[in-house]
Amino acid sequence: MTPILYGHPFSSYTWKALIPLYANEVPFVFEELSVDGGGTAWEFVREASPLGKFPVLSDGGHIVFEATAIIEHLVVHHLPDAGLIPADPDKAVVTRQMDRVFDNYVMNLMQESVTEAILKGGKPDSAVLAGVNERLERVYAWLDGWLESYDRPEGVTLIECAAAPSLFYADWVHQITDQWSRLRDWRAHLLALPAVSQCVEDARPFRPNFPLGAPDRD
């Protein structure tokens, strides 16, 4: 059976699951969830996980939620030789560690500002935003140093799948400037990858929905 991915084009974690599929030309069906939360696709997603979040992958009897787990599933069942997770155990640990860095310390952190804007009707508390920005700057500085020794792969690994969407949206919340030039340039490199570029373009119509206002770049 052809895998079915349930998600939304503007969702960062949906991007994360889409990138390895696009990059490796895996045949799949994308089931776009409606904005109003209605329909059979949403019913499936709500039943799939404890809190009914997306993305969700349905693949030959397997139902997998959480973007990282979806990528692990793809490695096992579709892409064992794509290099998404290194075969070397020590390198695999580092790859999985960086996956968590981008999810927890970049994407989930910037989401605090987005949530604040949603809760305050587009008028977020400046102190909350400043606190998020301060922490993002610490993460940016750490990542900029990490990149000095990062050996970029030919294709995409779990690291790129996690980094591309998180850095794309984090830059919208607090811009990655020349102060972190390695990180800024790597973000540009990631967005130029065909699989990531496709996600960027597919999400473009939804930019007016970004609660903090989408910047006029990218």
pLDDT in tens, 153-184: 988 999 999 999 999 999 999 999 999 999 99
Q: HSE (CB half, 13 Å, CA atoms) of 63?
A: 11
- The pLDDT assigned to 173 comes to 97
Confidence category of residue 1, pLDDT binned at 50, 70, 90: confident
Q: Is 182 exposed, middle or buried (0-12, 13-18, 19+ CB in 10 A)?
A: middle
Domain count for the chain, please give it. 1
Q: List CB contacts of 205: < 8 A, sequence separation 6 or more.
A: none
- The pLDDT assigned to 15 comes to 98
Edge-first strand order for the sheet with 4-7 is 29-32, 4-7, 56-59, 62-65
CATH number, position 127: 1.20.1050.10
In a domain, 67, yes or no: no
Distance of CA 159 to the CA centre of its chain: 10
pTM, full prediction: 0.96
Q: Is 29 exposed, middle or buried (0-12, 13-18, 19+ CB in 10 A)?
A: exposed
- What is the percent of the chain where pLDDT is above 90? 96
**What are 100-153's pLDDT values in tens digits?**
999 999 999 999 999 999 999 999 999 999 999 999 999 999 999 999 999 999
In a domain, 147, yes or no: yes
**What are 181-203's pLDDT values in tens digits?**
999 999 999 999 999 999 999 99
In a domain, 11, yes or no: no
Please, are residues 21 and 76 in contact by the beta-carbon 8 Å criterion? no
Residue 59 pairs with which residues in a beta bridge? 62
| Residue 70 pLDDT greater than 90, yes or no | yes
Distance (Å, whole) CA 191 – CA 168? 8
Range of the domain at 103: 89-194
In a domain, 143, yes or no: yes
In a domain, 5, yes or no: no
In a domain, 32, yes or no: no
Q: Could you tell me the two tokens for 97?
A: 């560690």
In a domain, 165, yes or no: yes
In a domain, 59, yes or no: no
